[in-house]
A and B are shown apart, each in its own frame.
Chain A
Amino acid sequence: MATDIQISIVGSAGDGTIAAGEILRNALAGMGYKVISFDIYPPEIRGFGKCIARMRITTEQAYSLKHKSDVLVSLDDSHAIPHADEVRDCGAVIYEQGSIVRLPEGGHMSAHVGPGQLPYPLPIRELSEKSTSANRSRNIVVLGFIAGLFGLPAEGFRKAIARKFRNKAAALEASEAAFQAGLDYAARTFKLDDVAFGPPVSTVVAGATVEMINGNAAIARGALDAGIDTFFGYPITPATSIMERLAAEMPRRGARLLQTEDEISAISAVIGAGFAGARAATSTSGPGLSLMAEMIGMGVIGEVPAVLFVSQRGGPSTGMPTKTEQSDLHMAVYGGHGDAPRIVIAPTNVDGCYRCAGKAFEMAEAYQTPVIVLIDLYLSNRYETVVFPARPPFEADVNRKPGKLAAGAQYKRYALTADHVSPRAIPGDKGNMHVVTGLEHNELGRPSDSAESHTAMSRKRHEKLKLALDHPDLTKFKRFGDEGAVDVGLLSWGSSFGECLEAMFKARAEGIRCAAMKVVMLSPFPTAAVAAFMADCGEVLVPELNYQGQFANLLQAHVAKPVTRLDRVSGEPMKVEEILEEIRRLAGRKAAQKAA
């Protein structure tokens, strides 16, 4: 029996909602299920805003969260009630049966459980207090109930709890007791919903490891596996955990990480380290990327390898730090002064975060330029079960080294070559003395503002990037769905692609000829492949999470065919049903055109 179950836990900051989600997904991933998970939390630390831990558990590969959940757990009815109608018919709604304060009419979850849903009122607080003498383990009580109600192995949960509280003996003891209380209560509960877990299906190849990991952690791991030497960064939501992960791991590997005083210092240090031959990176979000814009230009003109991990959030300015958006694409591709081309790649899932992070170092080194890995909060915080290969799939050193100079010859740092990439000497290489500045230069690197130099160097900086379109072992774009001519084609990028793919599969199941293409490489743009795809499509739909349709704008700059935009700025991931609805509408329009 295939498993495809989505569980949402909703509570208030301080309820342990996110912690419960973490334990649950780790337990389920440990049992062998595939899990996609995304947490939503408020900017406040405790006591105010809404927290949601939402996860989809499957045996087959899934690409996004579902429109409807199978199970909703309320740790705080005031926050969970608006989500009650997100539960499908015959799904379960688990909530606190009592209240310690008087409630206004409609203030209890029981008023909002739909006629098709199955209510499970539990004495969550009472079970926590009886088992631990405190109400702080309500979240763990619920996990025990979930394990019992759905017949999941308790041992898997106990392991995940032990891992979560490995350094907190008292919390571990209380959590074990609370878990057991929930489990015991489930044993006395009559199961009415039709949510059923089938056995997990293991698809792991020998030597590979499976981990439950989020986008930021995957980025960090990709950087580590690619042999990152130095990292300079300044914390900012939602990118901070990249730096935190690296801070914990890099010193153990003899690498160095420094938290700088701001983003300008961070990117400056990265450019400096890149110049010195180190694999160097920084991480930031939209506001930080703005501050880094000038030094990206420095990296471009100096042809210095640099890697920037940018996780987008709702903007502009401080905007919505804990909400997702894909609105820094213009900034990533075009941001800065002068003609400053750079490589921008946008992974579409957590596995892609790992691969793009590692490949970014290769490309920065191979094409001697800044590389931006563009993700967003949804991908930063999204957990997926990822299979890591036994050996990291990244090349350790792809720098084009200068050959032996002919007697009397002078090393040309910016030598004009057939593929526009110059041999790069590292400071200290004997005999290859050269200068790198922010000034336009000639082949030797000496300042030159002649028309010839600027024209040649501008061409060199742009043309060499096209090599990235053929960079080995990196998916730059990929088509899914029906082959050949289709009625509707979806073009998508970044975190939204999973929802597009799900919508495309559903549309095909409805008999609509449909295909989807993900575009990972945004700069340089894979124009030929995208144009060929668009030529196959009767209608082209471009869903994305920004108001301007930034990817559609980029697309239209390269391919003239009109597209239909589906732009959303809700701060939440794209909804599969919404995309599907648009596909249906476009397919209907196409059918009407054919009939006419």
Chain B
Amino acid sequence: MTAKRKDARHHVVIGSGVAGSQAAETLRSREPDARVTILTLSSLLFYNRYDLPKVFRGHRDWREFLAYPADYYRDHRIEVRRCSRVAGVDGNRRTIALEHKEEIRFDTLLVASGGRGYVPEELAEFRPLMHPFSSYTEAVVAAGVVPERGHVIMLGGDMIGLDLARTLIDTRHRVTLVAGPQTFWPHEVDDDERPALIAALEKMGVEVIEGADAGGIASIEQGARGLSARRLLFHDGTELYGDAVMPFFGLSPSVEFMLGSGVDIERGLLVNPALRTTGEGIWAAGDVCQIWSDADKRYRFFYGWKNVRAMGDLAARNIAGDDAPWVPAQDEKLHIAGDGRIQSPFWEYE
């Protein structure tokens, strides 16, 4: 642990993704004497999730994915508590209970725990047969089961999945998308735009099955001997074989541990434009928070690497004493580029 200065504040950040890591960096620069601690479930230091498709290009060493080397955290005196699951937060006592029964006191808390891959209720029982793609280890495992020129069946088709699809096609894999309401998430796509976008996907080389046409998924099974590893059964009796079934239904905010904390929660943590929650000394940033929008007169999520990083930075600056409001940092519109390919601002990162 970093040595504590008696009068220095202890800023705790839950989550080591883009928002949390940016916030820790900003907090360190704004308050050089403060103690900054990141709590994360991950075994690894902050790595760029957007780089994960590279595992299908043969990049499997986790060190290639880290945003910063270990010395960065030492030099910046940022404590990173990995493999640490938060069990609960007591906003009144300003304490965090970790699942392993350790209690951590904070002066300020930034919740940037992000979201986990969402899987619709009707498919939840098939989770063990799917290969999610939201962490480094999941990515490497998935890459390990798909052979060269193998066949990946994507369910849902959010923009994370479609980003991976680009790489898979590029690396001569076969990709079949079982499309549905979450296709193109988090973009909000009008019904009249959808056919063109689906056509653009097909032009990319993705084979698209519109879920409604196929009657929905009845089951996912282990492939029989001599066949591919997974068999997807549709309600209409048709079936599809692939080497892996990967769910891409968007993200669900990770907020369970905040229940009982005194913070208002809808789907995510509700924050004002300064990213302050309803709990004293508690802020939120990234995919976990819903920000009040005066324009829309509602709380809403903002996604994308640039938005999330900007939120982490803003929350940290406001924790350090500013009171600046949230301004979206990027365009949210899905485009079809001049060459007919899909172009999403959510695929852009620095």
Interface stretch, picked from B81-89, B148-156, B294-302, is: B81-89
Contact digits for A92-133, partner B, Cβ 8 Å, 1 yes 0 no: 000001111111111110111111101111000000000000
Contact digits for B68-93, partner A, Cβ 8 Å, 1 yes 0 no: 00111110000111111000000000
Are A119 and B43 in contact (CB-based, < 8 A)?
yes
Known: A97-B83, A190-B43. A116 touches B70 (CB 8 A): yes
Are A111 and B102 in contact (CB-based, < 8 A)?
yes
Q: Does A192 contact B (CB under 8 A)?
A: yes
- Interface positions, chain B 243-282, Cβ under 8 Å from A, are none
Contact digits for A377-408, partner B, Cβ 8 Å, 1 yes 0 no: 00000000000000000000000000000000
Q: Does A89 contact B (CB under 8 A)?
A: yes
Are B44 and A192 in contact (CB-based, < 8 A)?
yes
Name A99's closest neighbour in chain B (CB-CB).
Answer: B101
Q: Closest CB-CB distance, B88 to chain A, in whole Å?
A: 13
Give CA–CA (A105, B82) in the complex, Å.
Answer: 15
Are B101 and A110 in contact (CB-based, < 8 A)?
no
Instruction: Return chain A residues, CB-CB under 8 Å to B5.
Output: none
Listed residue (B71, B80, B98) with the most chain A CB atoms within 10 angstroms of its CB: B98
Known: A115-B74, A190-B137, A192-B43. A121 touches B99 (CB 8 A): no
Are B102 and A115 in contact (CB-based, < 8 A)?
no
Name B70's closest neighbour in chain A (CB-CB).
Answer: A116
Are B62 and A105 in contact (CB-based, < 8 A)?
no
Q: Closest CB-CB distance, A195 to chain B, in whole Å?
A: 14
Dominant secondary structure at the B interface: mixed
Are A103 and B102 in contact (CB-based, < 8 A)?
yes
- Tally B residues with Cβ within 8 Å of A: 27
Name A98's closest neighbour in chain B (CB-CB).
Answer: B100
Instruction: Return chain B residues, CB-CB under 8 Å to A89.
Output: 70
Are B100 and A103 in contact (CB-based, < 8 A)?
yes
Instruction: Return chain A residues, CB-CB under 8 Å to B81.
Output: 110-111
Q: Closest CB-CB distance, A184 to chain B, in whole Å?
A: 17
Known: A97-B83, A119-B83, A192-B44. A105 touches B74 (CB 8 A): no
Instruction: Return chain B residues, CB-CB under 8 Å to A101.
Output: 101
Instruction: Return chain B residues, CB-CB under 8 Å to A111.
Output: 1, 79, 81, 102
Are B1 and A110 in contact (CB-based, < 8 A)?
no
Give CA–CA (A101, B100) in the complex, Å.
Answer: 9
- Interface positions, chain B 36-55, Cβ under 8 Å from A, are 43-45
Of B1, B74, B100, B103, which is within 8 A of A97 by CB?
Answer: B100
Listed residue (A98, A110, A121) with the most chain B CB atoms within 10 angstroms of its CB: A110
Q: Does B94 contact A (CB under 8 A)?
A: no
Are A106 and B101 in contact (CB-based, < 8 A)?
no
Of A98, A112, A192, which is within 8 A of B62 by CB?
Answer: A192
Listed residue (A89, A105, A112, A120) with the most chain B CB atoms within 10 angstroms of its CB: A105
Of B71, B73, B101, which is within 8 A of A103 by CB?
Answer: B101
Known: A111-B81, A115-B73. A105 touches B103 (CB 8 A): yes
Q: Does B119 contact A (CB under 8 A)?
A: no
Q: Closest CB-CB distance, B226 to chain A, in whole Å?
A: 26
Instruction: Return chain A residues, CB-CB under 8 Å to B72.
Output: 115
Instruction: Return chain B residues, CB-CB under 8 Å to A107.
Output: 102
Q: Does B105 contact A (CB under 8 A)?
A: yes
Instruction: Return chain A residues, CB-CB under 8 Å to B84.
Output: 110
Q: Does B34 contact A (CB under 8 A)?
A: no
Give CA–CA (A108, B101) in the complex, Å.
Answer: 9
Known: A89-B70, A115-B45, A115-B73. A99 touches B83 (CB 8 A): no
Give CA–CA (A98, B72) in the complex, Å.
Answer: 29
Q: Closest CB-CB distance, B326 to chain A, in whole Å?
A: 30
Listed residue (B44, B70, B140) with the most chain A CB atoms within 10 angstroms of its CB: B70
Are A99 and B100 in contact (CB-based, < 8 A)?
yes
Q: Does B104 contact A (CB under 8 A)?
A: yes
Instruction: Return chain A residues, CB-CB under 8 Å to B102.
Output: 99, 102-108, 110-111
Known: A89-B70, A110-B84, A111-B81. A190 touches B140 (CB 8 A): yes
Name A101's closest neighbour in chain B (CB-CB).
Answer: B101
Known: A89-B70, A116-B70. A102 touches B82 (CB 8 A): no
Give CA–CA (A120, B83) in the complex, Å.
Answer: 8
- Interface positions, chain B 282-311, Cβ under 8 Å from A, are none
Instruction: Return chain B residues, CB-CB under 8 Å to A104.
Output: 102-103
- Interface positions, chain B 1-54, Cβ under 8 Å from A, are 1, 43-45
Name B76's closest neighbour in chain A (CB-CB).
Answer: A115
Are A108 and B98 in contact (CB-based, < 8 A)?
yes
Q: Closest CB-CB distance, A78 to chain B, in whole Å?
A: 13
Give CA–CA (A431, B62) in the complex, Å.
Answer: 84
Q: Closest CB-CB distance, B269 to chain A, in whole Å?
A: 24
Name A118's closest neighbour in chain B (CB-CB).
Answer: B43
Instruction: Return chain B residues, CB-CB under 8 Å to A102.
Output: 101-103
Are B1 and A112 in contact (CB-based, < 8 A)?
yes
Are B70 and A115 in contact (CB-based, < 8 A)?
yes
Instruction: Return chain B residues, CB-CB under 8 Å to A98.
Output: 99-101
Of A103, A108, A114, A120, which is within 8 A of B70 by CB?
Answer: A114
Name B82's closest neighbour in chain A (CB-CB).
Answer: A119
Q: Closest CB-CB distance, A90 to chain B, in whole Å?
A: 8
Q: Closest CB-CB distance, A85 to chain B, in whole Å?
A: 11
Contact digits for B206-248, partner A, Cβ 8 Å, 1 yes 0 no: 0000000000000000000000000000000000000000000
* 14 contacting pairs across A/B (C-beta < 8 A): A99-B101, A105-B104, A107-B102, A108-B98, A110-B82, A110-B84, A112-B1, A113-B82, A114-B74, A115-B80, A120-B43, A121-B83, A121-B100, A192-B44
4 closest A-B pairs (Cβ-Cβ)?
A116-B70, A115-B73, A115-B70, A103-B102
Given contacts A89-B70, A108-B100, A110-B84, 20 further A-B contacts (CB under 8 A): A97-B83, A97-B100, A101-B101, A105-B103, A107-B102, A108-B102, A110-B81, A110-B82, A110-B100, A111-B1, A113-B82, A114-B70, A115-B45, A119-B83, A120-B43, A121-B83, A121-B100, A190-B137, A190-B140, A192-B44
